[in-house]
Amino acid sequence: MSSRRILIVGGVAGGASAATRARRMNEKAEIVIFEKGPDVSFANCGLPYHIGGQIAERDKLLVSTPQAFKDMFNIEVRCGHEVLGIDRSRHQVEVLDHVTGQRSQEKYDKLILAPGAKPIIPPWDGVTSPNVFTLRDMTDMDRIKSRVDRQSGARAVVIGAGYIGLEMVESFTQRGWNVTLVEKEPQILPIMDPEMVRPLIDTLTGQGIVLHMGAAVDNLQVRDGQVHAVRLGDGTEIPADLVLICIGVRPDVQLAAAASLKIGSSGAIAVNEYLQTSDPDIYAVGDAAEVIHQVTGKPVNLPLAGPANRNGRLAGEHAATDRCASATPVAGTAIVGLFGKAAGLTGLSATAAQRLGIEHEVSYAIRGHHAGYYPGAEQMILKLVYDPKTGRVLGGQAVGGAGVDKRIDVIATAIRFNGTVDDLSGVDLAYAPQFGSAKDPLHIAAFVACNQMGGLIRQIPPGGRPIGQLIDVRGPAMHAAGALPGAINIPLPKLRESLMQLNRNEPVTVHCQVGQTSYIAARILIQSGFKEVHNLAGGYTMNKSTG
């Protein structure tokens, strides 16, 4: 251990993790955290849930306090102190004390940057009005909650249908507000594939939330110092008592750029495997820094709490000891809850793979999260994205109720170790009727992928146009309750005796409710001499809205 002075810019996830790891690795170091805001370490992912009332006590969100840092780790925390600039040649930073207005020069041996990210705020009229908000810290949370507490049954317009936007839609609704959600992309959760988020649309509309998808905001309408309406590009005006802007964040690289540190292609601070910037005595972690994507191997900016905590820990160790393990690539694993439903993803979506020019194929499974004969099974839709040549798992998505997190975490693990769909098909998962099935939804999705790679089946993706003769192999009652246009109903038990009704030389598309029975039908047809047979992935469940 050597005595050295480690200064950290920013607390929360990355900075706080760096500080405490540095102390655990070097008892002699002097460690100081400069935090511009009033709270050094808080659970920012919990902010919507205090507004919504699920987390009743505000203090539960305070992960640690300056006094706790001092008592437990002998780390000095200076809240309300903003680092204004870095003098790399002199190894010092300029600090402004927002309470006293005094400026000071602070020497460092090692400097860790964890300034986070800033909300994107368009130059609309009225964005500084008292009823227009963003949500990034506890001060924002307090302002929003105070407004919500004072009014009941008012109108909230949430702009942006990403994670925070959806969580706040739920929170406002649970507090009795009337909510409108606006998103410039044609779907909610644009990071996911379009067909995967359709069940969540039904969830939102079922809660009475008004949706404006594919709608760009033109401006905010201001009256008497308050925004009273949100005007869309088509001229629609949405009345509003409160406006929440959740259209994304940008990495806060102002300090780094001013110090001529390298900014990467993603717009975040470039770092090496030890989180060092282009200056080896300066590190960067969290939302302001780049990470390596597990699938593409390229630097990206992924503002997520998990990587920020893990990389903060590594940077703190290296700053304290000049050594640490290499940073682990990141798959972008994330999940959001919405009125009892969940949507999770990891790795690349099919949309992202296509945009990046990465060859890929997909498979689906629609199953209960545990054995169907045990009460309470909740249906989930699971999607795998994989390399059709090697079978390498490139990504996964799941939407449903219980159990979504478990499946996404398993897929993320497979991606981390360059696993294939064949690996997933044989992974040994815990099974009891109340927890899963002997053939888990993950196994089913992997089986489908293996069958596709083996040439056993051809698949039309959900929303795709059926080819040739469209055969519905469900029972008559299910067909009568709802059918795709033009579908001929031949229940699977009658298919073998009905083959003469079909033209073997014309393509056939088969479908059922979720895709399993139709796979059996497709195998019958293929082995009975039909030249071109396709299975409609997701069956009636995922195609009824596009049929």
CA distances from 453 to 390, 450, 464 (A): 9, 5, 20
* pLDDT category of residue 313 using cuts at 50, 70 and 90: very high
| Cα Rg, the chain, nearest whole Å | 27
* pLDDT computed for residue 149 by the predictor: 93
24 vs 72: CA distance, rounded Å: 11
pLDDT exceeds 90 at position 423: yes
CA 370 to CA 238: how far, in whole Å? 42
How far from 506 is each of 464, 467, 469, 472, 518, CA to CA, in Å? Answer: 18, 9, 7, 16, 18
Nearest to 431 by CA among 423, 421, 441, 422: 441
Tens of pLDDT along 460-486?
999 899 999 999 999 999 999 999 999
pLDDT for position 546: 61
* 3-state percent breakdown (helix, strand, coil) of the chain, nearest 5: 30, 30, 40
Stronger pLDDT, 118 or 63, i.e. the higher one: 118
DSSP string, 76-120: EEEETEEEEEEETTTTEEEEEETTT--EEEEE-SEEEE---EEE-
- Strand 299-300 and strand 291-292: pairing? antiparallel
Torsion angle (degrees, nearest 10) of CA 52, 56, 60, 61: 20
Supply the pLDDT for residue 42: 87
Give residue 437's identity as a one-letter amino acid code.
Answer: S
Return the pLDDT at 157.
Answer: 97
Residue 368: pLDDT band (50, 70, 90) is: confident
The 10s digit of each residue's pLDDT in 101-129 is: 999 999 999 999 999 999 999 999 999 99
Q: Which domains does the chain have, with CATH numbers?
A: 5-117+250-321 (3.50.50.60), 132-247 (3.50.50.60), 334-456 (3.50.50.60), 461-543 (3.40.250.10)
- The yes-or-no verdict on residue 547 having pLDDT over 80 is no
Neighbours of 57 (CB within 10 A): 8
What's the CA gap between 333 and 335, in Å, rounded?
7
**C-alpha to C-alpha distance for 255 and 271, rounded to whole angstroms:** 15
For residue 459, count CB atoms less than 10 angstroms from its CB and return exposed for 0-12, middle for 13-18, buried for 19 or more. Answer: buried
Q: Is the pLDDT of residue 243 over 70?
A: yes
The pLDDT of residue 397 is above 60: yes
When pLDDT is cut at 50, 70 and 90, the band that residue 1 belongs to is: low
- Mean pLDDT over residues 343-348, rounded? 98
Beta strands in 136-177 (DSSP E): 155-159
Tens digits of per-residue pLDDT, 248-294? Answer: 999 999 999 999 999 999 999 999 999 999 999 999 999 999 999 99
What integer best gives the mean pLDDT of the chain? Answer: 95
**324 part of the active site:** no
pLDDT of 132 higher than 60: yes
Task: Please identify which of the residues 45, 246, 324, 450 carries the catalytic annotation.
Answer: 45
Region 395-415: what's the mean pLDDT? 96
> Which residue in this structure is represented by tokens 């064949």?
422
Tokens of 225: 């110092």
